[in-house]
Chains A and B, each alone.
Chain A
Amino acid sequence: MHHRFRPLMTAATIALVAASPAIAEGTIDVAIIGEPDTFDPMISTKDVVSIVTQHFVETLYTFDESWSVVPLLAAAMPQISDDGLTYVIPLREGVTFHDGSSMDSADVLASMTRWVEVASRGKAIADKVESIEATGDYEITISLNAPYAPLMSLLAFSNSAAVVYPEEIIGDEIAEVVGTGPYKLEAHEPDQYTQLVRFDGYTQPTGAAERTQTPDEIRFVPVPDPNTRVEGLLSGQFDYADGLQTEAYDRIEASDAAEPVLLEPFGWPVFAVNHKKGKMTELKFRQAVQAALPFDDMLFAAFGDEKFFQTDGAMYPEGWAWNTEAGTELYNQNDQAKASALLDEIGYDGDPLRILTSRQYEFHYQMAEVARMALEAAGFTVEMDVVDWATLAQNRDNPDLWDIYITHSPFLPEPALTSSYFSTAREGWDNPEKNEILDRFTSVADPEARKEVFAELQEIVLKDVGLIKVGNFNALQGKAAGLEGVVPSPWPAFWNAASAE
């Protein structure tokens, strides 16, 4: 154990002027946007939960820097049967949990079984899973009833993650999370910090990049206010800060103490569409909304500088395998007259279009304000419902309460990880033609063939207005000057982080 004792503060060091940035050596302090409400990443899809928990619980597979799936707790990539129905996954031997027990197939079996039962992404494929069996002490076999190409991405994802726990702790709720990760949970004071220390019994993965366990200790500090995160980073209080507002970019760049980390492009803001109930169930009405929206202005109001966004209608930006221009002529029409004509055609009665949003992310609200103006210009009556995030998370599950709600997503390595495409999602987009395309997309294994099917999928997203992608945006994080070893990511990891000094 690496317990460090800071020398007692002398009277001089507590004096007013002694504002040394108190970074203990070998400790990485990370400002995160809020308190993770659970340490069980199986039951959470929050990015902040992924960021923290990936350090102490691990999945069978993970993504490398180029978003390819690589083994983590698995010893190698699975053997997939020719029909694509059976996945035989070899497990690494000699992996130790933080409680000292060693991992075998019984733990993985229990964990996978729980994942299919409780995780939202696991539940989504439960009907495709025929069986999960331990076929050896260090081998697990997953059998499907239909080929499902995105399975490996699901197993690798840190969000609603298929993590491996010791069999003994598994239940509906996991009280004390025990994992295999390079760091283990040392202390947790809610709303103050989550303290992780190096796990000495860690064995390195064979596929994924080495976890060098450089810092002795990693501390995640929830700082809900974005301004306070910036000030903390610039003053040297934090080595890394997540979720900064792009307005702070110039100031961070000008500072000697810190550097901006721009994730380019990071993700896409989206107007999720209620296909279950209300106005948006009517295609022409959806098309009118799509025609009226000024995407470039919405992005400009939200991000302020072309440096931080691209007006792009493709579901994946250039440079991604999934990038295609199919259907994008319908993006950014900015044609209020056309919208108006569509509304006349269906005899729009002025019933309000309800936009549900929150200010948890200021850019959501900013896009909504600009959208409202354009929609009103086209003849819509718009009702904005601006609530706190907890209320939004609650209300969006009730289709009676909204027509559009605003959210965003990072560009995910596998399109099928985006739940909005599926008719089972809360949006309930149940277009038969789309369902058929999606079925093909998830069952075809060949990457080239999948790309072509994805182009069809993107086209119908735009034509049927399944969801409204606003554009691409870059996310801003920040790191202390000289900090090395952190790969920019929506879910930055700190096991290789090293300060310059």
Chain B
Amino acid sequence: MAGSAASASAPGFFRLLSARPSVLVAFALFVAIVAACVLLPLLGVTDIGGMSVRNRLTPPGEGGYLLGADAFGRDLLGRLMVAGQVSLGIGLGVALLSSAAGIWIGLLAGFFKRLDTPLSRLIDAMMAFPDILLALSLVAIFGGSMGNVILALSIVYTPRIARIVRASTLVIRELPYVEAAQALGTRTPTIMITHVLRNIMSPILVQATFIFAYAMLAEAGLSFLGVGVDPTTPTWGTMVNEGRQFIDNAFFLILFPGLIIAASVLTLQIAGDGLRDALDPRLAKET
């Protein structure tokens, strides 16, 4: 019965999407943002004229700049899309990397009693460091390349995944069919992957969605503190930060990147919530 939960959840998810329009809207909006960031630069629609300093701070709608021009006279829309690839890339990278690491740590801790205590304490110790502070120190120590920012934030968020995976593994390990498989001599790695991992994918997916969102916010914070990604690589965070000095004469320079960060983070969280509701067995029981 637990084995069928994952497969049963997919139609459940879409049922829920249609039942809760807000989740549907959020999901669609996020997909639209991602699609725009990937497709618009490919189609070349966003790069009008490259850098033309004389057009700096052109207001939105004027001179062919749909969202205005930045301090270098670059098309803001185009910049937003290119920066979006980096920001979304960081979010996705952190979500994937921390999930991958968290799953292994959690599975090992949950499955092998001897590893449980040391790994759990390690998770506790990592969780004791506040995220932005730890990320800040890590970036300070390793340097602020995009890879290092992803790495630092992944280290920060790995324990969250690991904790969830461990807790779920502990439960699933005791299920009769897993015990049966063990008794039949199925190898432990096989059990871990085929039985356990398949059944805990949904909470991981939910958590990874939130980490995706938090990582994008954290990246913006690091940019503000001056230890983020190398500023020649545009991100939404660096764009808001660069726009700060123009708060009086070109508010749109912080408005648009600020809006798109907020929209992405919000829609991701709503989607994550929707996902959780859809996949939560308790809710499934009620419906």
Contacts and interface: CB of A to CB of B under 8 A. Distances in A.
User: Do A and B touch (CB < 8 Å)?
Assistant: yes
B245 A362 contact: yes
Contacts of A251: 248
Given A301-B56, A362-B242, A386-B231, 16 more contacts: A226-B245, A227-B244, A227-B247, A247-B245, A248-B245, A250-B249, A294-B53, A297-B53, A300-B56, A301-B53, A301-B72, A301-B73, A304-B56, A369-B232, A384-B232, A386-B232
Interface in A296-313: 297, 300-301, 304
A435 interface: no
A227 B247 CA distance: 9
Contacts of A304: 56-57, 71
Interface string B129-164: 000000000000000000000000000000000000
Interface in B64-87: 71-73
Chain B facing A: main interface SS = loop
A373 B51 contact: yes
B104 interface: no
Contacts of B56: 300-301, 304
Nearest to B241: A359
Contacts of A38: none
B116 interface: no
A247 B248 contact: yes
A227 B244 CA distance: 8
Interface residues of A, number: 22
A373 B52 CA distance: 10
Interface of A: 226-227, 245, 247-248, 250-251, 294, 297, 300-301, 304, 359, 362, 365-366, 369-370, 373, 384, 386, 388
A184 to B, nearest CB: 34
- Nearest 4 CB-CB pairs, A to B? A297-B53, A301-B53, A384-B232, A245-B245
Contacts of A388: 226-227
Contacts of B246: 247
Contacts of A226: 245
B230 interface: yes
Nearest to A355: B232
Interface string B210-246: 0000000000000000110011100000000010111
A227 B246 CA distance: 10
Interface of B: 50-51, 53-54, 56-57, 71-73, 226-227, 230-232, 242, 244-249
B149 to A, nearest CB: 14
A369 B226 CA distance: 18
B139 to A, nearest CB: 11
Nearest to A386: B231
A386 B51 contact: no
Contacts of B249: 247, 250
A370 B226 CA distance: 21
A227 B242 CA distance: 11
A257 to B, nearest CB: 15
22 contacts: A226-B245, A227-B244, A247-B248, A248-B245, A250-B248, A250-B249, A251-B248, A294-B53, A297-B53, A300-B54, A301-B56, A301-B71, A301-B72, A301-B73, A304-B56, A304-B71, A359-B231, A362-B242, A369-B72, A370-B51, A386-B230, A388-B226
Contact of B72 (A250, A294, A359, A370): A370
B38 to A, nearest CB: 25
A152 B50 CA distance: 50
B143 to A, nearest CB: 9
A69 to B, nearest CB: 38
A226 B53 CA distance: 23
Contacts of B227: 388
Contacts of A384: 232
Nearest to A368: B232
A229 to B, nearest CB: 11
Contacts of B245: 226-227, 245, 247-248, 362
A359 B242 CA distance: 10
Between A226, A250, A369, the greatest number of chain B beta carbons within 10 A of the residue's beta carbon is seen for A369
